[in-house]
Amino acid sequence: MTSKPVVAVLDYGSGNVHSVVKALDAAGADARLTADRGLIADADGLLVPGVGAFRAVADALRAIRGDELIGRRLAGGRPVLGICVGMQVMFELGVERGVDTEGLGEWPGAVTELDAPVLPHMGWNTVRPDEGSRLFRGIENEPFYFVHSFAAQKWTLDVIPPFPKPSLTWCDYGTPFLAAVENGPLSATQFHPEKSGDAGIRLLSNWIDGLTATTL
């Protein structure tokens, strides 16, 4: 019997982690909520959750040197998935209420407030994945569950061959914003797969299916 891929869920004090662990288990992973540096380094995948303010998440990650753990995995081509603010902090900068906060800088650009008549953007919305997206395979037309007021609204990373072009998924709420990014070993979603029913489980399963191939 083939063992399930091990996914470490980074435990740094973020909320909503237990529903993420359950969703990963349902999607076919052996999910473990942990701050153990050895397990995080060795796991087939690392999931970075995040709820609340950009600054609080960035500070909490740095407090446990989570930025180092994420950076080392990515430098070694080891898969990482960020969710919600766990996606936002992958960018260079977060701008909230006039305050700039340095992100992890894995991607260039800033996370800013959505220009929409009602905030937060809360509830179900459809997305527009790139053709060939691995995360959205088989669920290209499904809605996903969002709860946020801020997002990355531009993509400015220039990828030069032979590196593959990132797969970008957009959503519209007031203005277009990035709903998901797949960029080498680093993927992220602005929405909550763990709150998105069967489609969210399928998305996580799609990510999990790619872990063993990436880490062989």
Answer for the pair 35, 81: CB distance below 8 angstroms, yes or no: no
Helix axes 17-26, 197-215, angle to 10 degrees: 70
Closest CA to 78 of 109, 48, 108, 36: 48
Helix axes 54-63, 66-75, angle to 10 degrees: 80
Handedness of CA 58, 63, 66, 69 (dihedral sign): positive
Distance CA 19, CA 68 (A): 25
From the candidates 92, 106, 148, 192, give the one annotated as an active-site residue: 192
CA 57 to mean position of chain CA atoms: 13
From the candidates 84, 121, 148, 182, give the one annotated as an active-site residue: 84
From the candidates 92, 106, 182, 194, give the one annotated as an active-site residue: 194
Taken as a whole, the chain contains a residue count of 216
Answer for the pair 20, 57: CB distance below 8 angstroms, yes or no: no
Distance CA 103, CA 209 (A): 29
Answer for the pair 201, 26: CB distance below 8 angstroms, yes or no: yes
Distance CA 84, CA 48 (A): 9
Catalytic residue list contains 84: yes
Catalytic residue list contains 194: yes
Catalytic residue list: 84, 192, 194
